[in-house]
């Protein structure tokens, strides 16, 4: 709020009202409108402005005023994607019910069923994001002029995550960048880039406060931060020292690890309380993030000994 107040003070101080010159009143009104837009937008109210007022004005003045092409085709295709996602979610729920009634509990059963449950929960997010994209595109938002000739991709300027691209992530850091992409980009600018000490944990801590301080949120977000940190160190120490054939195996194993860790995070966050944590402990899938964190401590200790 102090930053906002300083911005207001600076800008209002540069505007002078003169009764002898009525045109100054018009100039003041023209100046006031972008000021209100700058101060009262969502990100500024929540965490302060992302840039200076001058940068905001420069960006607004640089926006191309020509109307984008008709988005009807893109909106229709994205709605078809929503229907496909919901179809996949429906059959995953049916498969979960089939597993519960016709299979005996076991380690593999527990891991498979919990992974399916996590995927069902994630698909809900993808569907909501895709519907949000459709609404934005129908209103003319999200179109980006670029050099690519793909008309469909030009309307992905406000995309929060594509199902196939995000779920194909082979490491936790890659998944973190792709999941809820617009919010992730905003958090990097607002929190991560502004902190010199523990920026990753500060970023996930801010996200934790934003979502709500439930037990499952604490476990989920700090597990996410720790596994992203572990991914950075493990990849840096292992990937350069393996052969091309081993890298293919490493990529596949890392994709499975990413899926399991993300499943643990989603279930912990969505259940919010001890019920989600009990499910993760009983199905042994909670061992995946634990192994990542243990590897992180081993690598950090080895690096400290070498230094």
The catalytic site residues sit at 180, 211
Residue 9 φ/ψ, nearest 5 degrees: -65, -40
> CA 233, 234, 240, 245: dihedral to nearest 10 degrees?
-160
* Residues in Cβ contact with 221 at an 8 Å cutoff, skipping those fewer than 6 apart: 204, 205, 207, 208, 211, 265, 269
Cβ atoms of residues 187 and 203 within 8 Å? yes
């Amino acid at each position: 709020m102090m930053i906002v107040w300083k911005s207001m003070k600076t800008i209002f101080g540069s505007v002078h009202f003169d009764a002898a010159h009525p045109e100054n009143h018009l100039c003041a009104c023209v100046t006031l409108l972008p000021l209100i837009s700058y101060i009262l937008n969502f990100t500024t109210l929540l965490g302060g402005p992302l840039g200076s007022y001058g940068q905001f004005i420069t960006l607004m003045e640089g926006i191309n005023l020509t109307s984008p092409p008709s988005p009807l085709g893109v909106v229709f295709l994205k709605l078809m994607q929503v229907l496909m996602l919901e179809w996949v979610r429906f059959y995953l729920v049916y498969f979960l019910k089939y597993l519960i009634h016709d299979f005996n509990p076991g380690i593999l059963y527990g891991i498979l069923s919990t992974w399916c449950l996590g995927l069902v929960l994630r698909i809900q997010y993808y569907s909501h994001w895709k519907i949000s994209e459709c609404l934005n595109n129908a209103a003319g938002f999200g179109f980006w002029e670029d050099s690519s000739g793909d008309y469909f991709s030009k309307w992905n300027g406000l995309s929060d995550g594509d199902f196939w691209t995000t779920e194909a992530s082979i490491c936790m850091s890659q998944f973190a960048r792709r999941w809820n992409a617009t919010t992730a980009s905003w958090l990097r600018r607002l929190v991560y880039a502004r902190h010199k000490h523990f920026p990753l944990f500060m970023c996930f801590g801010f996200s934790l406060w934003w979502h709500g301080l439930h037990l499952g949120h604490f476990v989920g977000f700090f597990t996410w931060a720790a596994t992203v940190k572990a991914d950075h160190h493990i990849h840096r120490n292992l990937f350069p020292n393996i052969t091309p054939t081993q890298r293919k195996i490493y990529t596949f194993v890392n994709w499975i690890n990413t899926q399991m860790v993300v499943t643990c995070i989603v279930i912990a966050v969505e259940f919010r309380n001890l019920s989600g944590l009990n499910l993760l402990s009983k199905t042994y899938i909670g061992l995946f993030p634990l192994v990542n964190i243990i590897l992180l401590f081993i690598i950090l200790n080895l690096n400290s000994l070498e230094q």
